[in-house]
Structure 1
Amino acid sequence: MKKVIALACLSMLPLSYAAAEGYQVNAQSTKQAGMGHVGTAMKLGAESMHFNPAGLVFMENRIHLSAGVSGVFSKGKFTDGDYVQKPDNTPSTPLYVYAGFKIYDNLAAGISLTTPYGSSMNWGKDWKGAHLIQDISLKAFNIQPTVSWKIMDRLSIGAGLMMEFGNIELSRALIGPGEMSGMASGLMDQFGPLLQAHPELGAIAKPVIDKLIADMAKYDDASAASVNLKGDAGVRLGFNVGAMYDINDKVTVGVSYRSKVKARVKEGDIALSYANETDLKENIFKQVETLIKTAESFGVSVPVNLQIPALDQGTFSAELPLPSNWNVGVTYKPTNRWILSGEVQFVGWGAYKKLEINFSPSSLSQYDMVAKKEYMNSRIYRVGAQFAATNRLDVRMGAYYDESPVKDDFLNPETPSMNKFGITGGLSFRPVDRLSVDFAFSYVTGFGRDGSYTDKALVSGAERKFGGHYNIYALMPSIGVAYAF
């Protein structure tokens, strides 16, 4: 029973973000957002710190500053037969800030702030999948000091120290809609044979059970009890390295690697909420307690326990992998006005095999759990083009295909993961030579998929499967500004 309740509480931190698969965000440059987020084999000034640190040294000016923000407006839908639920998502606003400095002709350094991971999704408090997720919000920030060295005219390398931190808030139902009636059925299964074997007990217990069934049915469309988790992930370290080589004046190749980082919430806060706390505790649970005591007075033992664990009297800890990324790209400049680029990104989601939840103090450690995730490594394919329409105006377009890392039988509404296709466009306008104002727009659509997730029922401990058809899409406008000294 204790493990079952813990499983009903938590499947914490695996998140969805419509701009990318899993909980990875593609919003580190407005310019590159317009080109399908390519950049591994491109010389982007200060913005190279994220895409490939080796490109930073090719800055044309002594100082390059860049900043921007995106708005992610995601929509989704879950269907199971005639049942339809759409999440009410709050727009997310990933941002970036870069500052690059040319120290010598062959040496550059810089520092950046980006939001490489994040999520925001609200399915509602009382929907059918509330026992898996009600709402979730995640933000992860990365501060990265970077150095870039040009070994020779055509070859450069670069490296950055990633310092990542963030916060997480998640809510889910302890007792979801309809589960109270399931508890009532469980009580009848346990008490039914006892009532027949002990008519005297039946005469006393039957009216109480009938009232319980009616009282529990009031929660067929509501989550009777829910849990909220909130915590900060402390600073964790990783690295970002890359190399870039000009094959000739028209073709450049690049490779970069961002390491895996394990985000850890060491001491998160837990809060419990109820649809009607007084009714649940002072009425329903006390009626169950009365039933048990009545049965015991007849010498009958009933193994029933419907109490909510006092998780809000403790804290939780959990660890989440932020996956590694290998990027390999090539850029081709057929003329002075055109830039074409393509790349493949290998995302190390295979590191996410399970989620471990630990409770403190030791009196709550009996609720510790391990939930399997079994993510797979995935790939993202990107292409982009830029055209210098005038001396002051560049226009861009791009597309990408993002593979899902989630298997069909691990598809959870907290991660409504599916293969996605994105199309992008953008432009940059330079009112003066060293100032660039950038705009981009992305449309990302998922290839809807069927899937399910299996957990354990609250009372019986029997396995249950929740599944259906998921779909999701997102609109992402971006704006940025860059200035060179």
Structure 2
Amino acid sequence: MRKIILTMALFGLASSAFAGGYRVALQGVRQAALGGTSATQTHDASVAFYNPAGLAFVKSKLSIAVGGFGVQTDVKWQDATTMQKAKTDSKLGTPMYLAVSYKPLDDLAIGVSVTTPFGSSVTWPDDWQNKSNITHIDLKAFNIQPTVAYKFTDWFSIGVGFIYTHGTAKLEKVQTVAGNDIKLKLEDKNAHGLGFNFGAMFKPTDKLGIGLAYRSNVDAKANKGDVTWSNLPSGIASNVPFNTDKWNTVLPLPSEFTFGVSYKVLPQLELFGDVVWQNWTRYKSLDINLYNDASNTFYTSSSQKSWKDNTIIRFGAEYTFSNFIVGRLGYYHDQSPVPSAYWSSETPSANLNSFSAGVGFRFNSGFNVDLFSSYVKGEERHINNIEQNFQGDVKLRAINFGVGVSYNLK
């Protein structure tokens, strides 16, 4: 009997809002419009996710920020030798965020944010060539982060946050065994992990801002998820792994370091730039354990990943047309951490170039409304997965949009 290779990434995504791998970089509408630059922005409480030190520089006693995004991604694959091809038919991804901060003292800020840095969906055809790896994956993951920040001087602050990650995931795939298309579905509703982030912010002048931020590794653990087999021939239903009904795994989420600078070249024009480094080398392999306690059955499948660290370059520009309206433009280049030899269709990845624009409306009452849209283009690449014996040329693109609302009470 042919071995079923369970090469599944628990938080695999199809969203081209990636900041490398399966990280979704949409935790603030204003930041997204500015190419994802974030290390020095102190417009509202949403800065807590990006750089917790920024909360101390938010110019309000109470700040509330909430927003949501739409992410529509298309991934196309074709084998130039066989001319076989396939494309995804994924539903609209909907990342969101909510952040609240409060200053009990002028220099002390406390807050909490809820974000979805890992969350989307990808659906490939049931009959495509790599159906044994993936036909559908869906993720809903949330970060809950309490944060505290303190401003030691008028120009310097530090902040720290505690991260709790909770999520659900579902994977579906099809394996042909002895002429039968056997369907496998893995579900988990209680994946979780712990981490922290730390940041420092410097504003030595009214024009210049410098930000440093670090987000730690998180090991997302799925345990006692449900395993469902469909269309099993009676002759193999009692064999391993078809008699398993539970599964677990640990997915390593990378640490992330950000250095950012902002500068007001004119009273109306501010420029932003970030460099982001992500520690994807820790994602060396993914081990999936299937088991059945009643029959004392245990089965492990290991898939090599060997991902590489990557760097993201981000730029943004914001122009204030009046006290009421602000315009924004942004760009980022995101280098894929996934080698061709270990590229997998549950996490379609390529070097990305994103072009974004947005507009903000400021009201005297303290309310702000921000709009954003972007076009993300993946550089075409040839992939050749040596474990899955799967190759071809891959193209991907995405259209993203978002709406955010914030309220700052002086």
**Per the shorter chain, which TM-score range?**
over 0.9
C-alpha distance in 2, partners of 1:14/1:27?
A: 16
Name the structure 2 match of 1:245: 202
1:478 paired with 2:402, answer: yes
Q: Deviations over 1:122-167 (max 9, x none)?
A: 0021111101111111122001111110011111000111111101
Name the structure 2 match of 1:378: 310
Report how far residue 43 of structure 1 moved.
Answer: 1.9
Q: Deviations over 1:344-398 (max 9, x none)?
A: 0101111110111122236565421221111111011000011111111011000
> Residue type matched to 1:32 in 2?
Q
Name the structure 2 match of 1:315: 246
- CA spacing shift, 1:273–1:106, aligned 2, 3 Å: same
1:351 paired with 2:350, answer: no
Q: 1 or 2, which has the higher helix percentage?
A: 1
Q: How does 1:21-170 map to 2 (within 5 A)?
A: 21-81=20-80, 82-170=83-171
**What is the CA RMSD across the aligned residues, in angstroms?**
1.9
Name the structure 2 match of 1:188: none
- CA spacing shift, 1:265–1:450, aligned 2, 3 Å: same
1:465 paired with 2:389, answer: yes
* TM-score of the superposed pair, with normalisation by structure 2: 0.94
Report how far residue 312 of structure 1 moved.
Answer: 5.5
Confirm or deny: 8 A CA contact 1:263 1:320 kept in the other structure.
Answer: yes
C-alpha distance in 1, partners of 2:403/2:287?
A: 38
C-alpha distance in 1, partners of 2:114/2:55?
A: 15
C-alpha distance in 1, partners of 2:339/2:93?
A: 26
3-state SS of 2:119 partner: strand
3-state SS of 2:210 partner: strand
Confirm or deny: 8 A CA contact 1:23 1:119 kept in the other structure.
Answer: no
Report how far residue 336 of structure 1 moved.
Answer: 2.1
- Structure 2 residues not aligned, in runs of 5+: none
Confirm or deny: 8 A CA contact 1:78 1:471 kept in the other structure.
Answer: yes
Larger Rg: 1
> What is the aligned counterpart of 1:326 among 245, 252, 257?
257
Name the structure 2 match of 1:340: 271
> What is the aligned counterpart of 2:214 among 257, 275, 283?
257
Confirm or deny: 8 A CA contact 1:123 1:134 kept in the other structure.
Answer: yes
Report how far residue 34 of structure 1 moved.
Answer: 0.6
C-alpha distance in 2, partners of 1:45/1:106?
A: 15
> Residue type matched to 1:49 in 2?
A
3-state SS of 2:117 partner: strand
- CA spacing shift, 1:169–1:312, aligned 2, 3 Å: farther
3-state SS of 1:112 partner: strand
Confirm or deny: 8 A CA contact 1:109 1:147 kept in the other structure.
Answer: yes
Confirm or deny: 8 A CA contact 1:311 1:364 kept in the other structure.
Answer: no
- CA spacing shift, 1:263–1:86, aligned 2, 3 Å: same
C-alpha distance in 1, partners of 2:110/2:32?
A: 24
C-alpha distance in 2, partners of 1:170/1:255?
A: 37
Q: How does 1:432-447 map to 2 (within 5 A)?
A: 432-447=364-379
- CA spacing shift, 1:374–1:135, aligned 2, 3 Å: same
> Residue type matched to 1:133 in 2?
I
Q: 1 or 2, which has the higher strand percentage?
A: 2
C-alpha distance in 2, partners of 1:405/1:452?
A: 15
- Structure 1 residues not aligned, in runs of 5+: 184-215, 286-304, 456-463
3-state SS of 2:157 partner: strand
Q: Deviations over 1:318-361 (max 9, x none)?
A: 11011111000111012221111101010111111011112223
> Residue type matched to 1:381 in 2?
I
> Residue type matched to 1:342 in 2?
G
Name the structure 2 match of 1:452: 384
Report how far residue 23 of structure 1 moved.
Answer: 1.1
Q: Deviations over 1:102-141 (max 9, x none)?
A: 2211111111100011231000211111011111111220
- CA spacing shift, 1:445–1:59, aligned 2, 3 Å: same
- CA spacing shift, 1:432–1:246, aligned 2, 3 Å: closer
3-state SS of 1:57 partner: helix
C-alpha distance in 2, partners of 1:14/1:98?
A: 23
* TM-score of the superposed pair, with normalisation by structure 1: 0.80
* Identity percentage of aligned residues: 33
- CA spacing shift, 1:415–1:330, aligned 2, 3 Å: same
C-alpha distance in 2, partners of 1:112/1:10?
A: 32
> Residue type matched to 2:95 in 1?
P
Name the structure 2 match of 1:271: 228
Confirm or deny: 8 A CA contact 1:31 1:440 kept in the other structure.
Answer: yes
3-state SS of 2:45 partner: helix
> Residue type matched to 1:173 in 2?
V
C-alpha distance in 2, partners of 1:356/1:128?
A: 23
> Residue type matched to 1:37 in 2?
G
Q: Deviations over 1:232-267 (max 9, x none)?
A: 244422111100112322111110001111111111
C-alpha distance in 2, partners of 1:373/1:142?
A: 25
Confirm or deny: 8 A CA contact 1:269 1:312 kept in the other structure.
Answer: no
C-alpha distance in 1, partners of 2:358/2:57?
A: 23
> Residue type matched to 1:424 in 2?
S
Confirm or deny: 8 A CA contact 1:40 1:256 kept in the other structure.
Answer: yes
